[in-house]
Amino acid sequence: MSDLRAQAEDWLAQDPDPDTRAELRAILDAGDERALAARFGSRLEFGTAGLRGELGAGPNRMNRVTVMRAAAGLAARLPRGGRVIIGFDARHGSRRFADDTAAVLGGAGLRPEVFAEPVPTPVLARFVRAHADVVAGVMVTASHNPPRDNGYKVYWADGSQIVPPLDAEISAAIDAVGRVDELPLAGSWTVHRDTGDYVDAVSSLRLGDPGDLSIVYTPMHGVGRDVLLEVFERAGFPAPAVVPEQADPDPDFPTVAFPNPEEPGALDRALAFAGALPGGRRADLVIANDPDADRCAVAVPADGGWRVLTGDELGGLLAEHVLRHTSGDDRLVATTIVSSSLLRSIAAKHGVRFAETLTGFKWIMKAGGPPMGSGESSRHGRPARLVFGYEEAIGYSVGDDRGVPVNDKDGIGAALAAAALAAAARRDGRTLLDLLDDQAREHGLHATSQLSIRVQDLSLITSALGRLRAEPPARLGGRAVERFDDLSQGVDGLPPTDGVRFRLAGNARVVVRPSGTEPKLKCYLEVVHPVDDDIAKVRARAAADLDALRADLSAALR
């Protein structure tokens, strides 16, 4: 423990933040060894998702020292004189972290620019891609994490998140950084005030005509509202009604227990508002973004209440919509190994290319390059044109015949596409639920679900995966395991990743992996049923199958 105290004293001596200095001094004075070990016993790892963690003092927390070290490591990997754009959301500390990043990058001989106000993550990603002289971008955000967290995402010159080995190179450069109070710092930098690159690109998506839908929208106390309303107006769509209590950015997210539209209860206020609009009307569509607006959730009226579409359901519907509004056999659609296999079938129907990637949008955005995994990202020597990519965790990149406008997931572009899709369905006398049934009849019902196990001790995730690798179950959910893949060894031409996959008899699949952003073990379940009977009965059978898989997997992971 004396070594941890020495590390803490060294940290105190260089920390420029009076709040974290006071926190750490109180821990030292109280002799709180557990709190000290939690902050100095390990450190936040800089990986392909950058940094993300709880705010506080020490290398295992997000704070100004951690951010300045990350900026110095990034600067070491960038060409001197390069232009770097920095965005930030409305979370606690985000603006300060953005300014610290600019000071360090400027002191290292780069040309930093910081957005004047909080912006959605896809705005930052689009700016990097749209300007040829921008060598990198930084987004200070923890996306949908709890209020106590913050994070740090790095984008390379193509506007997509970094992938190996670049993340390891930056991490090594961070490790080589000395004391932050000895870093040269710039006293000023350019302030950027224009979101026009993004608004122009997304509002001009050619995905159908606006309708007369009544739409309710929640930014979930995040930064998406103003940009989304501008995009809808520029695209000619009616302005959504914004949930009043969740309209303004608030880093404490006071009306939701967890600011993630996927979480149970997160949409309750939006659904209540949508069910009681002025004049006794009810909305036709509910759209939610997460706090940095890179994810999108959709709910529709159903049986007197509301049905929230899963990420896979909306992904399949948006894919068909995009492919109906685009042309060319060079089109590519891409998804991840944990998302529904439905997209492969949709791609085959439309005669377009398909790619399956590792989890995360950083990989989806690379799918248009050299062939990877089990996809067909290029053939006959012709480059693929990515028009749609999605992951089951409500992340979508929606494009048109010009390709995708943002090289990352984009919750505002997805919201616009969902509105266009719903308007087109209504003109045909259909609903999104009708379209889901149509897809199931044509491609089979691809039913998906998840099992998430949140832990306090990350070693529990490692040990659970170790048990599955050492003794894979022979049956899950009453189905024989026909194939077991240890994803850490690399399968189907994909790079190695931590996780395992089970292929089951009767066209079912299970993937187990650690979350990349939260202390969770995540299990992804899929069963596929042909629809040769009443579709409600098929859905009930599929739900029972998923329940059986979930029960067996829970037992196997104990």
| Single-letter amino acid, residue 292 | D
List Cβ neighbours of 231 (8 Å cut-off, separation of 6 or more). Answer: 199, 202, 203, 412, 413, 416
- Cα(480)–Cα(504) distance, rounded to whole angstroms? 6
- Cα(504)–Cα(61) distance, rounded to whole angstroms? 41
Contacts by residues 450-453 (CB-CB < 8 Å, ≥ 24 positions apart): 450/522, 450/523, 450/524, 450/525, 451/522, 451/523, 451/525, 451/550, 451/553, 451/554, 452/515, 452/520, 452/521, 452/522, 452/523, 453/520, 453/521, 453/522, 453/523, 453/557
Catalytic-residue membership of 143: yes
Contacts by residues 485-494 (CB-CB < 8 Å, ≥ 24 positions apart): 487/337, 487/511, 487/513, 492/356, 492/373, 492/374, 493/371, 493/372, 493/373, 493/374, 494/337, 494/356, 494/357, 494/358, 494/372, 494/373, 494/374
Beta bridge partner(s), residue 115? 192
Report the relative pairing of strands 111-115 and 83-88 from DSSP bridges: parallel
Would you state the torsion angle of the CA atoms of residues 146, 150, 151, 152, taken in this order, to the nearest 10 degrees? 150
8 Å CB contact between 438 and 316: no
Q: Which of 389, 161, 423 is nearest to 287 (CA)?
A: 423
Would you state the torsion angle of the CA atoms of residues 367, 373, 375, 381, taken in this order, to the nearest 10 degrees? 70
8 Å CB contact between 404 and 387: yes
Tokens in use for 534?
């009443």
Terminal Cα-to-Cα distance of the chain (whole angstroms)? 32
- Cα(449)–Cα(265) distance, rounded to whole angstroms? 17
**3-class DSSP assignment, residue 368:** coil
- Cα(131)–Cα(82) distance, rounded to whole angstroms? 12
CB count, 10 Å around CB of 383? 11
8 Å CB contact between 408 and 122: yes
What are the backbone dihedrals phi and psi of residue 298, each rounded to the nearest 5 degrees, phi first? -135, 140
List, in sequence order, every beta strand (DSSP E) within 5-148: 51-54, 83-88, 111-115, 134-140
Place of tokens 């306090």: 456
- Cα(299)–Cα(309) distance, rounded to whole angstroms? 6
- Cα(140)–Cα(102) distance, rounded to whole angstroms? 12
Catalytically annotated residue among 42, 94, 143, 463: 143
**3-class DSSP assignment, residue 78:** coil
Q: Do you find a cis peptide bond into 165, omega within 30 degrees of 0?
A: yes
Which active-site residues does the annotation give?
143
